[in-house]
Chain A
């Protein structure tokens, strides 16, 4: 196809990291730049955490030294993006990449099209591990086995609770924020279970969430099964301990969204699915970079934004 539209830089993902890259490139006068976002709005994961009076703010804005709602933080970032000349393609998904040619295949409301670029930044974020991916959680596949993403969806968009007696699997910051949100919305005090011996969230983080939740903690669970017939009815450990409930939350332990890189032939480690990184967060093919939570582990929205800014520097140096 010769009709592929050309951009200097293509950014895959319109969350904080992708916005950071776009803003960083604009400051350096690099263009034209396209930002491709598969959802209908810019802002990524934090956008799902709506601002509401009495709600639980869960996003740290280090530069202002305070904790805010994701929507506020994402909104501020989106405003910075609006001041740039970045072309934004919403509701558009990259379905295929050709790393050598730096060509992307897009599916959007207009159909399928290809674009090419001199550099591509993967800022596709991360998702929560499925029960099967955890490896220590088996059992029934019922309804109301929910991710934190579902919790924010049901709660923030529809005011609905995925569980009244929640059992939270996982204990990192995301798990605590889920517990706090559930509690604030009227659920019972959650039970929190993890394979780790002590909670994954740090002491200060746990102290912060104490205002809303003091989950009933059980650590060191090496194997557990979800119980229930049609909907989740709790969790049972391999040594017979039972935690009844009416919904199981599968929280945190992020997996980077590196499928495009993996299927496109960029170097990705298995089974962790982590990208192999060189200096400046460059990937295994020249002209390919990564920014934000697609790297590995779990980082706050603002960290991702500044990481994107830093990658913009590496990209402009490459160009």
Chain B
């Protein structure tokens, strides 16, 4: 449980570099699945570089909240990423917080993002903020209940301990609790990262936007950090999903061999989850806004069933 500076630096670098790649992979793979050629996988890097260099136009109605929001969104996403075990069992910052802090940090980023949407006095920004906060509110209980289920089984909210417990001998990933909680968290992942069927990241119509509507007024480096923050958040949630439920390959100690194997296993797992997201996005239509709560209450029911199965199958605790 020590704070190793190299581990922090390495995981930060890995998060920063991988996040745009995963977004690019999803975009390209989706295009291929729809018989389009699509942008190259590294397109998000080019976009970020371009945004960082561009001049900015800030709305005359905007205040400090608007300019602070991108940095908060970006930093909270990285911080949240440091709480999750990525390649090693031990997350570099797990002493500073577990699952509850992770949810709190992402909520802090969302709070600023939504206020940034309201700040320029545009109707679209307000619309995006309102929808984002509504969906987040409906997704939160499902997210927490799913996390509680695994936390109770592992006896800790510390994600490193949860991952360690998953690696243990008594753990079976076909346990109904695991399957149900995974399904619930996957639905929450779709909602939290603004994926079809909840939100369409590729939409150009303001009235259907959720996440993009809040970003409409952002430009230049602010936009770069907002976009980067969004892809970081997506990577963090994917990492959470794969390493809590499928911890195979996580390096128990920091030896070069274990780290290399851990990294390879991690990349493979994330690509598989990203692939599932691509398939879901391609085979589904976006839901009407007021059908989204139905989907998320399904996630809540799944998480509750996971909890009940904990009660049924694990009498001794």
Q: Do A and B bind each other?
A: no
Interface residues of A (CB under 8 A from B): none
